């Protein structure tokens, strides 16, 4: 469900041929650790969503030694905007607080506007912006760049080599 949702957002989320098997193995390993919590939302005996929460060590230079991470979230399309994710988040917050976490981080696909709005609505704010450079397309962009731009780029390279 979650993987299919991401694949629909962008081909950058295309799964490996053995992605499902690897995901199962990943979850199995994560659940053997006490630093992982899976929150499952049920309604009338049916699973309508889940949230995977992790305790993660922070960079040692920062005051907070560990951070909470919401790794994966999914809510069935017909149950969205009905408080399911918010209820799971409340459970997650209690777990994080119990584990002495002072902040929670999560990542949202750039084109997942629905999720971005939902997280903003419950108080999450932009913190770090990740950028992606697809190297496969890099050479193509250079070949199709206007000649003037290529000449400027070559001149800059020459200046750098001369130590200017």
Tens-place pLDDT, residues 66-98: 999 999 999 999 999 999 999 999 999 999 999
Point out the least confidently predicted range of 17-26, 86-95, 151-160.
Answer: 151-160
User: How many whole angstroms separate alpha carbon 46 and alpha carbon 76?
Assistant: 11
Helix 2-9 vs helix 19-31: crossing angle, to nearest 10: 130
Mention every residue, 6+ apart, whose C-beta is less than 8 A from residue 139: none
Residues 40, 86: Cα–Cα separation, whole Å: 12
6 falls in which pLDDT band (50, 70, 90)? very low
Residue 53: Cβ-neighbour burial (10 angstroms; 0-12, 13-18, 19+): buried
Beta-carbon contacts of 73 under 8 Å, excluding residues fewer than 6 positions away, are 2, 49, 50, 51, 52, 85, 88, 106, 115
DSSP-assigned letters across all residues of 137-156: HHHHHHHHS-HHHHHHHHHH
Residue 69: name the closest of 32, 24, 35, 43 by CA. Answer: 35
Bridge partners for 85 per DSSP = none
pTM of the model: 0.67
| pLDDT tens digit sequence for 26-61 | 666 666 667 899 999 999 999 999 999 999 988 889
User: What would the pLDDT profile of 121-144 be if each residue is shown by its tens digit?
Assistant: 999 999 888 888 888 777 766 666
The two beta strands, 104-106 and 66-75, are: parallel
């Amino acid at each position: 469900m979650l993987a299919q949702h991401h694949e629909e957002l962008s081909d950058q989320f295309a799964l490996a041929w053995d992605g499902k098997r690897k995901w199962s193995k990943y979850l199995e390993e994560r659940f053997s650790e006490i630093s992982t919590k899976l929150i499952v939302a049920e309604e009338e005996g049916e699973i309508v969503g889940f949230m995977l929460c992790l305790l993660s060590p922070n960079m040692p230079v920062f005051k907070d030694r560990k951070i909470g991470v919401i790794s994966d979230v999914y809510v069935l399309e017909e149950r969205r905007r009905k408080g399911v994710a918010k209820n799971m988040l409340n459970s997650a917050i209690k777990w994080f607080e119990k584990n002495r976490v002072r902040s929670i981080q999560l990542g949202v696909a750039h084109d997942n506007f629905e999720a971005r709005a939902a997280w903003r609505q419950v108080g999450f704010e932009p913190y770090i912006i990740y950028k992606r450079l697809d190297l496969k397309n890099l050479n193509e962009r250079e070949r199709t760049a206007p000649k003037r731009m290529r000449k400027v780029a070559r001149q800059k390279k020459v200046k750098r080599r001369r130590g200017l």
